[in-house]
Structure 1
Amino acid sequence: MKTAVGIGTAALVAVASALAFSPRTPPPLAPNSVGAEKTHFNALTIAGKRLLAAGAMGEILYSDDQGAHWTPAKITQDRQTLLNNMSFASDSKTGFAVGHENWILRTRDGGASWEELNFKPKNGEPLMSVARLPSGDWLSVGAFGKAITSKDEGKTWEPYTLPAEVEDKHLNRIASSADGKHWLIVGERGLVLRSDDATATWHAEPAFYNGSFYNAMPLANNGWLIYGMRGNVYVKADSHAEWTKSSVPAPVAFFGHAREANGTIVLVGQGSMLGVSDDNGKTFTLRRAKGRATLTDVVLLDEKSGKGWIASDAGLQPMPDLNAKQSTAATTQPSSQGTKP
């Protein structure tokens, strides 16, 4: 647990807000309950037509009707430990969830049930992200430069070699292009690792920012958008372009993203704030979602309509209508809680 607390102070993806809560067991969720999910959720994903959410107390919910009703998934061990990320294979059946204490869960039925593959309550580093590589192997990264890979669907894990620039930096997220050829790993102290050969090799991008990056999303022409603390968002227009800083009107820490069918980019972050860009990430305006919480992730169920769900440290909420008018008061700068210089 000492390691987990240490990572919270490093402001990894929504961890700071998670640790603000005293350990507690959330009220049990009845199958197909509506509006009962009020605990902290860190991750959202879609597997086939199923929507899934993973929470700070180790719970996973799933919905087969676009979030109208939620059902608790069955997990072999109740660890009440923070889960940070989920990822599924292309079959939408096999998936992994990772979290603190080196916790690794696997599902083979699309997320209805999960089995524990690994858990280290003593000196187990937090795992922050997991992804299936083009080779079919699985890769998970986390605190202090930890990177592990599995070639046998999670039965065994071994160290994964990354460039020396990783050192002991925290690795926050793995991201890939739609075709699986281009990849980024982003992390602490401005670390950006890049692969343009389907993860066969990696190299560190030249340093251009000294703060933490929390996530990344691919753009057209092999470009990228990466973002992190205090409103620091950077865009690489194509594979040969330089990284340029985006214009964001307030120092909002962002943690998750989505992209609508018309190209609008949506980032979610602290203070219930959404960063919205209609120019491929060059400039952002701010909108406020319902309530006042740290928004940790977002998924779109329908890219054309913009309908989706947002995870936060205060539960789950539907994606707001970005076309609706909003008062000036709703777009004021959030507090600085949860961010670092």
Structure 2
Amino acid sequence: MCSFNKCVLLVLCATLTLQQAVAQAASYVDVLDLPAKASALALRSSLLDVARAGERLVSVGQRGHILYSDDAGKTWQQAAVPVSSDLNAVYFPTAKHGWAVGNDGVILHSSDAGLTWSKQLDGRQIGELVLKHYSTLAAAEPGNEQWTILAAAGQRLVDEGADKPFLDVWFADEQLGYAVGVFNLILRTTDGGQSWTPFQDRTDNPQGLHLNAIAATGDALYIAGEQGLLRKWDAILERFTALETPYEGSFFGVIGKPGEVLVYGLRGNVLHSRDGGYTWLARPIDLQISFSAALVDAQGHYRLFTQAGHQLLAEDSQPRLRLLPQAQQAPVAGAIQAANGALILVGARGVRSLPAQ
């Protein structure tokens, strides 16, 4: 049996703990409703992607940080963002209009070249969106098992809440675009994000693998994902159809030029196709480090970057990728070439600029 003083102390401690819990609950604000906080450290915090909006550079990263630069990456300013969710990708099809996507099912839009952003969708809405879409199709075709399965997947999204991230985004113009993410999460818009349509039934992915990247190469549109997943948009069938690749590990990115495509991923694997993805040439390197970013430079050369910060150049005359010397290395998550030719790299240590070699 405890003494009187000890019992009083225990009661006081329990009361204090309860009061703190109530205060914390009362002060809690969902990151989907909490604007990103302005921070002098944002430039040196983790950034995950970078894009060009005309000559402006726009980078996105953790805690809803979006930065922009109008002097080729020399100085940066922080944009006004309505969420604090981590942002994984950004894309501008025009100089003014751009989209950013991230954790918690967030889709953001900017109409002023990345200066300000508005939320178009988040994970609290996606489950209901998917459930309603496929339940409607199931009711119209009660004998079609596919609709029932996809409606059930929508119900799981509702039950699990807003925790499914988008990993990449791509737009053809100011109207038509796609957002892709984990477990075959894919949405399409034809009205600039005012409404979104689930596209799981239009994507060959029966295992529900993660969709890591989406990009166009000329007039061809590709999706790359885990376990060697590579899909190409078929305009006749109006779906993303499967392409076979000689690698069964995850692809983290896809990039290309008209008539060709290059995919890159785990353990230094890079595949190159010059016939629309039907045959492939491996581009070997002497490193077993995963690739995390790539770009096509002003000369039309592929430049690839590893998670450790290596930079490699793909030359048409050489099948093997050439490692470029660097004075310093830092992890790279996204890369773009600025209007002045500088290479802008973002990653866990923020932004850095390199001269093109």
2:215 paired with 1:211 = no
SS of equivalent residue, structure 1 residue 65:
coil
Larger radius of gyration: 2
Of the three residues 37, 54, 59, the one matched with 1:53 is 59
Q: Which runs of 5+ in 2 are unaligned?
A: 1-35, 125-160
Q: Which moved more, 1:121-130 or 1:111-120?
A: 121-130
Q: CA distance change for structure 1 residues 169 and 291 in 2, over 3 Å: closer, same or farther?
A: same
Whether contact under 8 Å (2:175, 2:191) holds in the other structure is no
TM-score (norm 1): 0.76
Q: Report the Cα distance in structure 2 between the residues aligned to 1:311 and 1:155, rounded to whole angstroms.
A: 30
Q: Report the Cα distance in structure 1 between the residues aligned to 2:241 and 2:352, rounded to whole angstroms.
A: 38
2:194 paired with 1:155 = yes
2:308 paired with 1:271 = yes
2:221 paired with 1:186 = no
Q: CA distance change for structure 1 residues 143 and 235 in 2, over 3 Å: closer, same or farther?
A: same
Letter in 2 for 1:86: V
Whether contact under 8 Å (2:50, 2:58) holds in the other structure is yes
2:47 paired with 1:41 = yes
Aligned residue in 1 for 2:104: 101
Q: Report the Cα distance in structure 2 between the residues aligned to 1:56 and 1:104, rounded to whole angstroms.
A: 15
Number of positions where the alignment pairs a residue of Structure 1 with one of Structure 2: 285
SS of equivalent residue, structure 1 residue 169:
coil
Aligned residue in 2 for 1:253: 290
Q: Report the Cα distance in structure 2 between the residues aligned to 1:254 and 1:166, rounded to whole angstroms.
A: 26
Of the three residues 92, 113, 117, the one matched with 1:114 is 117
TM-score (norm 2): 0.73
SS of equivalent residue, structure 1 residue 144:
helix
Q: Report the Cα distance in structure 2 between the residues aligned to 1:223 and 1:320, rounded to whole angstroms.
A: 26
2:142 paired with 1:142 = no
Runs of 4+ in 1 over 4 A off after TM superposition: 288-292
Q: CA distance change for structure 1 residues 319 and 301 in 2, over 3 Å: closer, same or farther?
A: same
Q: Which runs of 5+ in 1 are unaligned?
A: 1-24, 30-34, 323-341
After superposition, residues 114-133 of structure 1 pair within 5 angstroms as: 114-120=117-123, 122-133=161-172
2:257 paired with 1:202 = no
Whether contact under 8 Å (1:128, 1:142) holds in the other structure is yes
The alpha carbon displacement at 1:292 in A equals 4.3
SS of equivalent residue, structure 1 residue 193:
strand
Q: CA distance change for structure 1 residues 153 and 27 in 2, over 3 Å: closer, same or farther?
A: closer
Q: Report the Cα distance in structure 2 between the residues aligned to 1:231 and 1:134, rounded to whole angstroms.
A: 33
| Percent of paired sites with the same residue | 26
SS of equivalent residue, structure 1 residue 74:
coil
Q: Report the Cα distance in structure 2 between the residues aligned to 1:85 and 1:198, rounded to whole angstroms.
A: 29
**Deviations 1:61-117, CA, capped at 9 Å, x for gaps:** 00111112111001123x2x2211111233x21211000110111111110000122
The alpha carbon displacement at 1:313 in A equals 0.8
Q: Report the Cα distance in structure 2 between the residues aligned to 1:144 and 1:241, rounded to whole angstroms.
A: 25
Q: Report the Cα distance in structure 1 between the residues aligned to 2:274 and 2:206, rounded to whole angstroms.
A: 24
Aligned residue in 2 for 1:70: 76
Whether contact under 8 Å (1:133, 1:199) holds in the other structure is no
SS of equivalent residue, structure 2 residue 43:
coil
Aligned residue in 1 for 2:353: 318
Letter in 2 for 1:300: Q
The alpha carbon displacement at 1:247 in A equals 1.2
Q: Report the Cα distance in structure 2 between the residues aligned to 1:104 and 1:128, rounded to whole angstroms.
A: 11
